[in-house]
Chains A and B, each alone.
Chain A
Amino acid sequence: MKSDCLINGPITPDVITSLMEKISERTDTGGHSVFLGQVRADYENDKKVKAIDYSAYEGMVTVEVEKIKEIILAEFTEVKSIEIIHSSGIVKAGEISLLVLVSAGHRHHAIMACSKAVELIKKKLPVWKMEIFDDDSHLWK
């Protein structure tokens, strides 16, 4: 079974929409900051990235996401909730592979906390990516 913070394949508009809809259930927040990470069609030696195959250490991802949330909540007292979703498996160029949503009392804390959460995700989440090129060759990043 996948953990709540990992989703198989791209993070679709439906997933994003359902999170946006949940925002209206709260009345103690005044600012929300969203970060969406997207797969870029980079070029490497004239070959174009057509997709990324993400692999994750599921058990440790769950542990690390909770630690990241604790760090953010301790540092930014106005933050009320944090959602972190990362893709595993194949995500095509142009599709979304990471979503961070931070809800806070006011905008400054929402924006700063979201930025810090993204940096912590980059540093601490045990996720690996294999770029797949248009000629079906691949490269681990």
Chain B
Amino acid sequence: MEVKVLFFGVLAEVTGTRLKNYYEVKTIGDLKLRIYDDFPEVIHYNFRISLNNEIINNDPNLNNGDEIALMPPFAGG
């Protein structure tokens, strides 16, 4: 299975990418560990996570084709 991870704002800058695909990850918790392995600096930033356009506060299972976003505090307007 494959999921798409989007990085926004300052996280796009510190990771040097806006998009990375991850494979065979079961939960958001697993995915976060993989992201911290790839981009250790991310752990120093405050961010929320969305799964398929909905902000999540738990650790749901992931499915093939899911879109996950790492989002620093919003600053629109």
In the complex the two chains form, is B74's CB within 8 Å of A60's CB?
A: no
Q: What CA separation (Å) do A7 and B74 show in the bound complex?
A: 18
The stretch of A22-30, A73-81, A116-124 in contact with B is A116-124
A32 CB → nearest B CB, Å: 20
Given A57-B6, A59-B53: A98 and B69 interface contact (C-beta under 8 Å): no
The stretch of A13-21, A43-51, A105-113, A125-133 in contact with B is A125-133
Total contacting residues, chain B, CB less than 8 A: 16
Given A55-B12, A57-B8, A140-B13: A127 and B75 interface contact (C-beta under 8 Å): yes
In the complex the two chains form, is B74's CB within 8 Å of A125's CB?
A: yes
Q: Is A1 engaged at the interface, CB distance under 8 Å to the other chain? A: no
Can you name the residue of chain B whose Cβ is closest to the Cβ of A127? B76
Max count, chain B CB within 10 A of own CB: residue among A59, A122, A130, A140: A140
Q: Is B10 engaged at the interface, CB distance under 8 Å to the other chain? A: yes
In the complex the two chains form, is B72's CB within 8 Å of A98's CB?
A: no
Q: In the complex, what residues of B have CB within 8 A of residue A57's CB? A: 6, 8, 50, 69, 71
Question: 10 shortest A-B CB distances, which residue pairs?
Answer: A127-B76, A128-B9, A140-B10, A125-B76, A60-B53, A129-B75, A63-B53, A141-B75, A37-B77, A122-B77
10 more A-B contacts (CB under 8 A) besides A59-B53, A121-B77, A127-B74? A37-B77, A56-B76, A57-B69, A122-B76, A125-B74, A125-B76, A127-B76, A128-B10, A128-B76, A140-B10
Q: List 30 A-B contacts (CB under 8 A).
A: A54-B76, A55-B12, A57-B8, A57-B69, A60-B50, A60-B53, A60-B69, A63-B53, A97-B77, A98-B76, A98-B77, A118-B77, A123-B74, A125-B76, A125-B77, A126-B8, A126-B69, A126-B71, A126-B76, A127-B74, A127-B75, A127-B77, A128-B9, A128-B72, A128-B75, A128-B76, A129-B76, A140-B10, A140-B13, A141-B75
